[in-house]
Amino acid sequence: MRAVVVYESMYGNTHHVANAIATGLGLGLGLDAQVVVVPVNAAIRETIERADLLVVGGPTHVHGMSRESTRQSAIETAHKPESELEIDPDAEGPGIRDWFETIDRFEGRAAAFDTRLDGPTLLTGRASKGIAHQLRKHGAALIADPESFLVTKDNHLEPAEDARARDWGSELARLTTAGVPASAGARSKTR
């Protein structure tokens, strides 16, 4: 069993969540499984083509997946003198939205997540909705509803989210090995 977690992250939170999801996947899938975490700028076609499960996540920017302009704006914010934000080592390069334009069909099992501000999704939006849409468009069978992990206004992961991401990873492992039928989780939910 091979699970691949592809993430985009500007300030490190989505990267951190991706690692926590991978930990949960590893616990759930067992020692024989291979779980890899790959930044989107290194996720070449071959990275995902043999995956039994593909998990894709990114930060919510302007209600959806990031764009070149919003990533640039994130970098400029971090470079302001008063900012304490640090740019994730793999932040440069294409985002998840651009990446989807470069990959082939993927007909395996998949799941989508994002990070976003805490608040009603009507106000915050969420990148995972668009990511799930793209995964389905590329032929993937979603095994879970898109999930959001929450950050504070000053871009720190909220306290319980690390454990929740790990648990979500374990749940994805359970759903993968239980053989949940394609199209489960095709709808969106509010969190």
Ligand X SMILES: Cc1cc2nc3c(=O)[nH]c(=O)nc-3n(C[C@H](O)[C@H](O)[C@H](O)COP(=O)(O)O)c2cc1C
Question: In whole angstroms, what is the distance from residue 122 CA to residue 115 CA?
Answer: 15
**Residue selected from 48, 61, 134, 142 as contacting ligand X according to rule CB under 6 A:** 61
Span from 29-37, 112-120, 159-167, 174-182 in contact with ligand X (CB under 6 A) = 112-120
Question: In whole angstroms, what is the distance from residue 27 CA to residue 173 CA?
Answer: 8
Span from 48-56, 67-75, 134-142, 159-167 in contact with ligand X (CB under 6 A) = 67-75
Q: Which of residues 146-175 bind ligand X (CB under 6 A)?
A: 151, 155
Question: In whole angstroms, what is the distance from residue 160 CA to residue 166 CA?
Answer: 10
What one-character-per-residue DSSP string does 108-150 give? SEEEEEEEEESS-HHHHB-HHHHHHHHHHHTT-EE-S--EEEE
Question: In whole angstroms, what is the distance from residue 134 CA to residue 93 CA?
Answer: 19
Task: Please tell me whether residue 102 adopts helix, strand or coil conformation.
Answer: coil
Site string for ligand X, 2-21 (x = CB under 6 A): -------xxxxxx-------
Span from 48-56, 61-69, 101-109, 171-179 in contact with ligand X (CB under 6 A) = 61-69
Q: Among candidates 43, 37, 41, 40, which has minimal Cα distance to 18?
A: 37
Question: Please, what is the minimum distance in Å from the beta carbon of residue 189 to ligand X?
Answer: 16
Question: Please, what is the minimum distance in Å from the beta carbon of residue 169 to ligand X?
Answer: 17
Site string for ligand X, 113-152 (x = CB under 6 A): --xxx------xx-------------------------x-
Question: Please, what is the minimum distance in Å from the beta carbon of residue 107 to ligand X?
Answer: 28
Q: Enter the tokens of residue 100.
A: 């989807």
Question: Please, what is the minimum distance in Å from the beta carbon of residue 127 to ligand X?
Answer: 8
- Count the residues of the shown chain that bind ligand X, applying the rule CB under 6 A: 21
Binding site for ligand X (CB under 6 A): 9-14, 59-63, 70, 73-74, 115-117, 124-125, 151, 155
